[in-house]
Amino acid sequence: MNNNEVDALRCLDSFMGAWNARDVQAFRATFNYPSVRIASGKIRILEGPEAHPDDLFERMVATGWHHSQWLRRNILHSSGDGEEPKVHFDTRFGRYREDGSTIGEYDSIYIVNKQDGHWGVQGRSSFAP
């Protein structure tokens, strides 16, 4: 695994850590903008950090969600050490209730890149609702 791949994995760690901490500001910081999300039959372009609503976590908690975790993060492609490196990941993540029971497990593709010196999620396509 090269340094860019390690850095891209760290970005995904930060993404999940901020998600589970319900920290909107930290979550927003794990992206490079604009960022694209394809899920639930919709394509959403997140133009900037404000595109993530402040009540994002409240809506998830209302579904019974307590935490999530990566179940798989395989590298599909890696661009190497160019000026703006990029890594494509084949992922699977789980959503869980407080008692540890499973809400669902979802396959997804994450695109993580380095933009202006910052590693962030630039795109994701998921089967999660």
10, pLDDT greater than 80: yes
Nearest to residue 92, comparing CAs of 78, 104, 102, 101? 104
Q: How many domains does the chain have?
A: 1
Say what the pLDDT of residue 19 is: 97
Q: How would residue 59 be classed by pLDDT, with cut points 50, 70 and 90?
A: confident
Say what the pLDDT of residue 82 is: 74
CA distance 31 to 106: 20
Provide the edge-to-edge strand list for the sheet that holds 102-115: 42-46, 31-39, 118-126, 102-115, 86-96, 67-78
**pTM strictly above 0.95:** no
Q: How would residue 55 be classed by pLDDT, with cut points 50, 70 and 90?
A: confident
Task: Write the CATH number for 75.
Answer: 3.10.450.50
* 88-to-60, 96, 101, 110 alpha-carbon distances in Å: 26, 25, 29, 6
Q: Residue 59: give the domain boundaries.
A: 3-126
Q: How would residue 53 be classed by pLDDT, with cut points 50, 70 and 90?
A: confident
- Among 7-16, 18-27, 74-83, whose mean pLDDT is lowest? 74-83
Give the Cα-Cα-Cα angle 46, 52, 53 (nearest 5 degrees). 135
